[in-house]
């Protein structure tokens, strides 16, 4: 299939691009580089041995999207393009609703014009809000507690209404939990601008000496060791989930929702401890106060994706840490060469 990846030079998009190309699909990237850069495209080509086209553009540019869909005879779209920082979404909600919701509407209008009606959407477990039960299954009530999560839920609802209005659409909504890790080559990985919000990239920058220490946001939660527990999923397992969803949509009309996680809650101390074992040294850290809006525990019931997509997360926390270290080592060398 010819597949357009919006946000394709971002963290998850770049890893999915590699996997899809390796699986024999023709991939086209579409990105405005607001949270990535063009060099990622070259490294995707280096890994895959393919010359994957990368169109620079904003998903709010409907005309450019129509042109791109026609030019590359796109069969399906995976929609990764979006802003994802919870804190920033609280400070700048209009920026998030414009980019994530208006951007998605623009993409869907372009797809309608070009008669491309297969889409996989990057949603988030954030749509669930505070868990009423665990593990979270797809039937859990939806109550996002920040503007970012609300943008994701609104796009989910738009897609569901679109399918009701035109049953010829094929839609998969993938609710990611906590993606971490990197491609085994170490050439691509999570590359946040500025100081990372998320745990894993922050730990990697402490390990590399770029940041002095890790602040552990609370150790008084009702969890196995008092620190927050999350469902960390290796980004390559996540990429496989997208391939499985695309294959499913070949035979199924309508809209389906899938949780993509491991189903295994891992605490901050467990993740940091694994990382320390892999690198053979301690990560300087101190207990800090809880971060506003943080959940104590969040992890997935993945049985629907397991049974319906025949998809399973296969990589463990050790794999996530070792692959992340390879990427961080390469990333540090890149920064060294830039100085």
Residues that bind ligand WQD (CB under 6 A): 84, 86, 124, 126, 178, 197-199, 202, 214-217, 228, 230, 268, 291, 294
Q: Report if residue 259 touches ligand NAD, rule: CB under 6 A.
A: no
Query: Site residues for ligand NAD, window 71-130 (CB under 6 A)?
Result: 80-84, 99, 103, 122, 124
Closest CA to 86 of 59, 37, 121, 125: 125
Query: Site residues for ligand NAD, window 54-73 (CB under 6 A)?
Result: 58-60
Query: Site residues for ligand NAD, window 178-237 (CB under 6 A)?
Result: 178-179
State how far the Cα of 81 lies from the Cα of 103, in Å rounded to an integer. Answer: 8
Structure tokens at 271: 């993740």
Structure tokens at 177: 């939990």
Closest CA to 30 of 101, 103, 87, 97: 103
Nearer to ligand WQD, 154 or 197 (CB): 197
59 binds, among ligand NAD, ligand WQD, none (CB under 5 to 8 A by kind): ligand NAD
| Displacement of CA 2 from its chain's centroid (Å) | 21
State how far the Cα of 313 lies from the Cα of 321, in Å rounded to an integer. Answer: 15
Q: Specify whether 312 is catalytic.
A: no
State how far the Cα of 319 lies from the Cα of 183, in Å rounded to an integer. Answer: 10
Angle 261-264-266 (CA atoms, 0-180°, nearest 5)? Answer: 110
State how far the Cα of 156 lies from the Cα of 171, in Å rounded to an integer. Answer: 10
Of the candidates 148, 221, 232, 299, the residue annotated as catalytic is 148
215 binds, among ligand WQD, ligand NAD, none (CB under 5 to 8 A by kind): ligand WQD
Contact assessment for residue 220 and residue 268, using Cβ atoms and an 8 Å cutoff: no
10 binds, among ligand NAD, ligand WQD, none (CB under 5 to 8 A by kind): ligand NAD
Nearer to ligand WQD, 169 or 176 (CB): 176
Q: How far is the CB of 42 from ligand NAD (least distance, A)?
A: 14
Nearer to ligand WQD, 183 or 230 (CB): 230
Q: How far is the CB of 219 from ligand NAD (least distance, A)?
A: 23
Contact assessment for residue 177 and residue 259, using Cβ atoms and an 8 Å cutoff: yes
89 binds, among ligand NAD, ligand WQD, none (CB under 5 to 8 A by kind): none
64: left (phi over 0), alpha (psi -120 to 50) or beta: alpha
Query: Site residues for ligand NAD, window 143-182 (CB under 6 A)?
Result: 176, 178-179
Q: Report if residue 297 touches ligand NAD, rule: CB under 6 A.
A: no
Nearer to ligand NAD, 82 or 181 (CB): 82
Query: Residue 132 CB: number of other CB atoms within 10 A?
Result: 10
State how far the Cα of 247 lies from the Cα of 162, in Å rounded to an integer. Answer: 21
Question: Under the rule (CB under 6 A), what is the footprint of ligand NAD?
Answer: 6-7, 9-13, 31-36, 58-60, 80-84, 99, 103, 122, 124, 176, 178-179
* Catalytic positions, written as ranges: 148
């Amino acid at each position: 299939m010819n597949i357009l990846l919006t946000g394709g030079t971002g963290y998850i998009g770049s890893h999915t691009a590699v996997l899809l190309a390796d699986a024999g699909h023709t991939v086209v990237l579409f990105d405005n580089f607001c949270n990535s850069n063009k060099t990622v495209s070259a490294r995707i080509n280096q890994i895959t041995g393919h010359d994957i086209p990368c169109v620079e553009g904003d998903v709010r540019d409907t005309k450019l999207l129509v042109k791109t869909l026609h030019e590359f005879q796109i069969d399906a779209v995976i929609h990764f393009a979006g802003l994802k920082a919870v804190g920033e979404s609280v400070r700048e909600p209009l920026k998030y609703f414009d980019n994530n919701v208006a951007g998605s509407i623009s993409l869907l209008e372009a797809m309608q014009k070009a008669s491309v009606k297969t889409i996989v959407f990057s949603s988030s477990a954030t749509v669930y809000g505070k868990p009423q039960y665990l593990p979270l299954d797809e039937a859990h009530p939806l109550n996002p507690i920040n503007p970012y999560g609300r943008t994701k839920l609104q796009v989910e609802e738009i897609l569901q209404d679109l399918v009701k209005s035109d049953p010829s659409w094929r839609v998969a909504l993938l609710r990611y939990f906590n993606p971490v890790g990197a491609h085994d080559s170490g050439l691509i990985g999570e590359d946040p601008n500025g100081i990372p919000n998320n745990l894993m990239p922050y730990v990697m920058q402490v390990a590399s000496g770029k940041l002095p220490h890790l602040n552990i946001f609370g150790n008084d939660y009702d969890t196995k060791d008092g620190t927050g527990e999350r469902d960390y999923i290796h980004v390559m397992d996540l990429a496989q989930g997208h391939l499985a969803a695309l294959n499913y949509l070949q035979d199924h009309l309508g809209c389906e929702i899938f949780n993509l996680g491991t189903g295994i809650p891992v605490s901050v101390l467990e993740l940091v401890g694994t990382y320390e074992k892999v690198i053979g040294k301690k990560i300087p850290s101190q207990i800090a106060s809880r971060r506003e809006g943080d959940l104590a525990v969040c992890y997935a019931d993945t049985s629907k994706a397991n049974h319906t997509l025949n998809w399973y997360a296969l990589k463990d926390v050790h794999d996530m840490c070792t692959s992340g270290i390879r990427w961080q080592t390469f990333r540090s060398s890149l920064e060294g060469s830039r100085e």
